[in-house]
Amino acid sequence: MNPDTTTVTDKKVKIAVAKGDGIGPEIMDATLKILEAAGASIQPEYIEIGENVYLSGNTSGIQEEAWNIIDEAKVILKAPITTPQGKGYKSLNVTLRKSLALFSNVRPVNALHPYVQTNFPKMDVVIIRENEEDLYAGIEHQQTQEVVQCLKLITRPGSEKIVRYAFEYAQAYGRKKVTCMVKDNIMKLTDGLFHQVFKEISAEYPDIISESQIIDIGSARLAANPENYDVIVTSNLYGDVISDIAAEIAGSVGMAGSANVGLNVAMFEAIHGSAPDISGKNIANPSGLLNGAVMMLSHIGQTEVADKIKNAWLTTIEEGHHTADIFQEGQSVKKVSTSEFAEEVIARLGQKPKQLKESKLASGAGTINIPSYERKVVDKKLVGVDVFIDWSGSNPDEIGNNLHAVNSAKMKLKMITNRGVKVFPNGLKETYCTDHWRCRFVSSEAIIQTGKPHYPTVEYDHVLTLLTDLSNAGFDVIKTENLYEFGGKRGFSLGQGE
Ligand code: NAD
């Protein structure tokens, strides 16, 4: 993958263009006008995605022909689309990123002080967010009357790709430090894997400083002292949150662009949403999408045009022609509409900023190489099962004793947790219990009372027999999770207090 050295030919590069919802069409028209005036050698192929497609009855939110256009073009320029909160169709943004394996979401955010109001004049951060997995896998279930769950999936190949991308990006763009943000003091397996991969891969880049922070204090520090950060790599949800924080404190969420990069396809967009509150008013700031388009031009090798546009844009900002979101009395010269802003940028094509840092993409960046993943063979051993039971009682001893009474020859109850806290045996009477009981069964021969627990192998047939016995005894089993050891290491979390 080489974002800056794709061969440029006279032939126009096909780009799949989606105008999106809300302010999407306004900012896309402004952006394309600037690209055309600057001489970008592209051929937009329009695709229909978003609200209108959903409303026409297509629940995927994307027309079938659009996939063919994307497949041919391999590059997408996309305006924001609307996704309903809490109900309705699935996010098409997430579908596009996952279906097209756009594993890396790259969001550079830098201050444009003093032209755009910010408390952090030297801020210059690139957030590299994992884009395909984590809680955004979107696998959710209601399991009992009171409990819903969302699966957080973190994979080794996914973590390796994104962490490697962050270090390769830092190297290619002359960045000095990569900070990993995780919450592995709590999620020891999922965030623990991401952190472990970070430690492994950072060792291969001794010239780049690497550090890790817990996401809560990390995001607080990012908000308080963004100038201390360079490149940040993190998982999907955390990255989504902190990149908006970063954009907002840099001046406006309307300014930052992002690249969604895969090994074969790449999609470029603004980081903000469809802003329905200002849609149709011709007042939106097109800068986020324009910056996404500049990244796109760099990706397809048209770095000179990319620099020309970026420098005209920086000059426009410097000369105080601002849309309403960044307009400040005393600093700004003129409040302009979306379309007027585009005209101002076009009028400055060929100019360079006097104070702000000039864009020099054409002077080249290094290459980004992501090796293909090689799966290692590790010994896998089944040592038990967590059986989740829907039970509306409230006394853990009652369900515990009833489960003990189930006579399943090969497996025995080890403990019960409720929302992760051990409530049987020997729970605290203060612990609040809902109707969702995680009941851990291990081999009847397991030694669990003293010292280091030892879990003998369990046959899956034993699990099936246990489930039949539980069902016959009237328990409402809602799901199971097998307990494995991989390479002799425990592959499941302990209950709090276990
Ligand atoms: P939003 O980013 O659309 O808007 C947040 C605030 O920022 C609003 O006050 C808005 O007016 C302002 N704003 C955003 N972009 C601006 C711009 N270019 N110029 C000036 N002001 C701007 O976030 P939201 O309101 O939470 O989401 C609206 C919709 O967008 C939702 O349906 C959401 O799912 C969707 N969304 C889409 C994407 C995407 O397509 N990539 C990303 C985020 C949100």
Q: Show the tokens assigned to 348.
A: 């400055």
Q: Is 78 exposed, middle or buried, given 0-12, 13-18 or 19+ CB atoms closer than 10 A?
A: buried
* CATH 3.30.70.1570 location in the chain: 380-490
How far apart CA 47 and CA 14 sit, in angstroms, is 12
Which residue out of 54, 89, 274, 279 has the highest number of ligand 1 atoms within 8 Å of its CB and is therefore the one to mutate? 274
Q: Show the tokens assigned to 47.
A: 């695709």
Place of tokens 């034993």: 462
How far apart CA 365 and CA 355 sit, in angstroms, is 23
For residue 412, report the distance from its CA to the centre of ligand 1, in Å: 52
- Residue 93, ligand 1, Cβ within 6 A: yes
For residue 272, report the distance from its CA to the centre of ligand 1, in Å: 5
Q: Is 461 exposed, middle or buried, given 0-12, 13-18 or 19+ CB atoms closer than 10 A?
A: exposed
For residue 274, report the distance from its CA to the centre of ligand 1, in Å: 4
φ and ψ at residue 488, rounded to 5 degrees = 80, 0
Q: Identify the CA nearest to 300 among candidates 101, 102, 76, 125.
A: 76
Distance of CA 238 to the CA centre of its chain: 7
pLDDT number for residue 29: 98
Which residue out of 28, 78, 272, 339 has the highest number of ligand 1 atoms within 8 Å of its CB and is therefore the one to mutate? 272
How far apart CA 355 and CA 199 sit, in angstroms, is 39
pLDDT number for residue 56: 86
pLDDT per residue rounded down to tens, the chain (498 residues)? 544 444 445 689 999 999 999 999 999 999 999 999 999 999 999 999 988 888 888 888 888 899 999 999 999 999 999 886 666 667 788 888 888 999 999 999 999 999 998 999 999 999 999 999 999 888 999 999 999 999 999 999 999 999 999 999 999 999 999 999 999 999 999 999 999 999 999 999 999 999 999 999 999 999 999 999 999 999 999 999 999 899 889 987 778 899 999 999 999 999 899 999 999 999 999 999 999 999 999 999 999 999 999 999 999 999 999 999 999 998 899 999 999 999 999 999 999 999 999 999 988 777 889 999 999 999 999 999 999 999 999 999 999 999 988 877 789 999 999 999 999 999 998 999 999 999 999 998 886 655 566 789 999 999 999 999 999 999 999 999 999 999 999 999 987 767
Q: Give tens-digit pLDDT for 261-303.
A: 999 999 999 989 999 999 999 999 999 999 999 999 999 999 9
In CATH, what number does 13-363 get? Answer: 3.40.718.10
In total, the chain counts a number of residues equal to 498
Checking 339-342 for CB contacts under 8 A at 24+ apart, the result is 339/26, 339/29, 339/30, 339/282, 341/30, 341/285, 341/286, 341/287, 341/316, 342/29, 342/30, 342/31, 342/33, 342/34, 342/286
How far apart CA 496 and CA 416 sit, in angstroms, is 10
- The residue whose C-alpha atom lies closest to atom 4 belonging to ligand 1 is 275
- The residue whose C-alpha atom lies closest to atom 5 belonging to ligand 1 is 275
Find residue 479's DSSP bridge partners. Answer: 388
Q: Show the tokens assigned to 117.
A: 């109001």
CATH architecture of 380-490: 2-Layer Sandwich (3.30)
For residue 454, report the distance from its CA to the centre of ligand 1, in Å: 53
- Residue 76, ligand 1, Cβ within 6 A: no
pLDDT number for residue 354: 96
pLDDT number for residue 110: 92
φ and ψ at residue 135, rounded to 5 degrees = -65, -15
For residue 342, report the distance from its CA to the centre of ligand 1, in Å: 20
Find residue 114's DSSP bridge partners. Answer: none
For residue 20, report the distance from its CA to the centre of ligand 1, in Å: 12
Kindly state the helix (H) or strand (E) to which residue 169 belongs, with its residue range. helix 156-172
